[in-house]
Structure 1
Amino acid sequence: MRDRKSTIHKKHIFTYILLILSCLLIWIPIYMVLSGCLMRGEELTEYIGVVLDQGKGYVSWPLVPLYPTLKSFVELLFDAPQFFVMFWNSCKQVLPAVLGQFFVAVPAAWSFARYRFPCKNILFYIYIVLMILPFQVTIVSSYLVLNKLHVLDTHLAIILPAIFSTFPVFIMTKFFKGIPEEMLEAARLDGAGEGYIFFHIGIPLGNAGIISALILSFIELWNCIEQPLTFLRDKSYWPLSLYLPQISADNLGVSFIASLIMMLPAVLIFLKGQEYLEQGIVASGIKQ
């Protein structure tokens, strides 16, 4: 019995060690960004310059910055107005797109989940096909449509395709299907109309799926690169996701600060909606 308990205890220790090592591997890039924000450009070049063909030897990274400084913060926040322009461009493109997804995807998902209409399954399969197609496949057709609408080189070139994205519809439909039909029938027997059922039963009970889909859409749109490069030739409309590729080896410190600031909104949104994401994962595995 003791040998068995000892074996189980050793297995637990091995599991804990494996989990700790996995956590460290995940946190290493984040720690490098945080510590790199406090380093001078010369120090960063010394450690990782070989990656950028700025030196010879091997890549290294100290546990703590040797000479902590806030110089990079000052350079980015006070000497780089382009950064703030691109930051607000991201806000102008992402926030309306996510809001538009709410008004378009929620009713569409509710219709797929709760109503019967001609060619419903075929139309839903088309949604799935469009969802799994990579952007490179639809780039020409999307460009032609946006050009016909005369919205290229405007924020609408990013907002309009995102509003009608099929991904949120697919995610939300799963959660709306999980609402018991008996509950809806009881509401109809009590005299509730379809609009009342949608707004007072469907949306509240499906809020986990709605918020989960919108959070994932926000993160995707906040970090998108290909769409702005394709539809926005005027750099004055470029979002923040295109700021980092322009940074060179001469201002590595600024790149770490920009990475941190760009990462913060997505991380905060994720942490704020983590509970809904967890509920969504649980709900997606429950069958009526």
Structure 2
Amino acid sequence: MKKKRFLSLGILLTISLFIWIPLWMMVTGSFMGTQEINEMIGPVFSNENKLATWHFIPDFPTLKPYVELLLDSPNFFVMFWNSCRQVIPGLIGQLFIAVPAAWSFGRYNFKGKKLLFILYIVLMIMPFQVTMVSSYLVLNKFHLLNTDFALILPNIFSTFPVFIMEKFFKSIPKSLIEAAKIDGAGEFKTFFYIGIPMGASGIISAIVLGFLEAWNGIEQPLTFLKDKSLWPLSLYLPDIAKEKLGVAMVASVIAMIPAILIFLFGQKYIEQGIAASGIKE
């Protein structure tokens, strides 16, 4: 029994090591000088007949890439602000659209409910490439292309948070809802004072996952935003990767920090959301 446990632990540690290697390379690369990092991975970009190498720890650590990005690259902060301006309003909008929709699916029975929910699931699993043309035509019709709303509005009406939250609202005991109604609580008070507090785990998990997806989005901004002054931070990284490798590493580290903090805050809620979404009715 102990041997199997140690074997399983060894396999998991090996897998986690391979997952952590790219992250370690990115962090250590952000402290390398231009010459050192070019000597190691320069052949990849110059098509030389040499193998790329990597030092576990930088030979000559330096903060020059951080100084160059944070002090000499004002465009970085513009794009960082663009990401905040395009992601946060979409998540706030989800609270007003997805939460009531999930409550309706979880607590009410109405004609066509199953068919409508299946439609939500179909829209959720469809990749962006399938809906790209139709979304482009709709946004163009309303003259929203090349504006922040081209990213905000599709995020607001995303069907994924409804799928996550519905399971939490549906798990609220009926006796609790009936007790609230006996005490004189109307539909709004029941939703606001019972539904939202008891479904908070589902709401937070949906918001965290929505943030991670929107913050790292690449295809949507490339499709809907032609003006580079509106580009989010996720498009800044490939724009500099070929020219300044050290700065690209620093930009990747800084862009990763908000996502990591949000994930660490909502990790347990994400686990609850995954568990709830797998419960059979």
What is the TM-score normalised by the length of structure 1? 0.93
Q: RMSD of aligned C-alpha atoms?
A: 1.5
How far residue 72 of structure 1 moved from its aligned partner, in angstroms, is 0.4
| Residue pair 1:46, 1:55 contacting (<8 A) in 2 also | no
1:205 counterpart = 2:198: yes
Structure 2: how far apart are the matches of 1:282 and 1:161? 26
DSSP-derived class of the 1:153 partner: coil
1:194 and 2:169 are equivalent in the alignment: no
The residue correspondences of 1:187-266 to structure 2 (distance < 5 A) are 187-266=180-259
1:247 deviates by: 1.3
Q: Distance in 2 between matches of 1:50 and 1:9?
A: 46
**Correspondence 1:179 to 2:172:** yes
* Cα pair 1:41 1:250 within 8 Å, conserved: no
| Aligned partner (choices 102, 108, 113) of residue 109 of structure 1 | 102
Report the Cα distance in structure 2 between the residues aligned to 1:58 and 1:280, rounded to whole angstroms: 43
Alignment CA distance shift 1:55-1:67 (3 Å): farther
Q: Are the counterparts in 2 of residues 45 and 54 from structure 1 also a CA contact under 8 Å?
A: no
Q: How does 1:72-111 map to 2 (within 5 A)?
A: 72-111=65-104
Distance (Å, rounded) in 2 between the aligned partners of 1:120 and 1:280: 22
2:21 to 12, 16, 28: 28
2: CA distance between counterparts of 1:277 and 1:33? 26
Q: Distance in 1 between matches of 2:78 and 2:125?
A: 33
Confirm or deny that 1:127 pairs with 2:114: no
Look at both structures and tell me which one has the larger radius of gyration over its CA atoms: 1
Secondary structure of the residue aligned to 1:173 is helix
Deviation at 1:54, TM superposition (A): 5.4
Between the aligned partners of 1:116 and 1:16, the Cα distance in structure 2 is 47
Question: How far is the alpha carbon of 1:20 from its aligned partner?
Answer: 2.2
1:87-134: CA deviation from partner (whole Å, max 9, x where unpaired): 000000000000101111000010111112222222111111111111
Which moved further from structure 2: 206-215 or 269-278?
Answer: 269-278
Q: Counterpart of 1:67?
A: 60
User: Does the 8 Å CA contact 1:45/1:249 hold for their aligned counterparts?
Assistant: no
| Matches of 2:116 and 2:6, distance apart in 1 | 52
Q: CA deviation at 1:160?
A: 0.6
CA distance in 2, matches of 1:220, 1:284: 18
Q: Report the Cα distance in structure 2 between the residues aligned to 1:232 and 1:105, rounded to whole angstroms.
A: 25
Match of residue 44 from structure 1 = 37
* Cα distance, 1:125–1:285 mapped onto 2, change above 3 Å: closer
Q: Deviations over 1:211-255 (max 9, x none)?
A: 001100000000001111111111110000100111143310000
SS of residue matched to 1:250? coil
Q: Unmatched 5+ residue regions in structure 1?
A: 1-7
Residues paired across the two proteins, number: 281
Give the secondary structure class of the aligned counterpart of 1:58.
coil
Identity of aligned residues (%): 60
Opposite residue 266 of structure 2, the aligned amino acid is: G
1:120 partner letter = K
Secondary structure of residue in 1 paired with 2:244: helix
Q: Which runs of 5+ in 2 are unaligned?
A: none
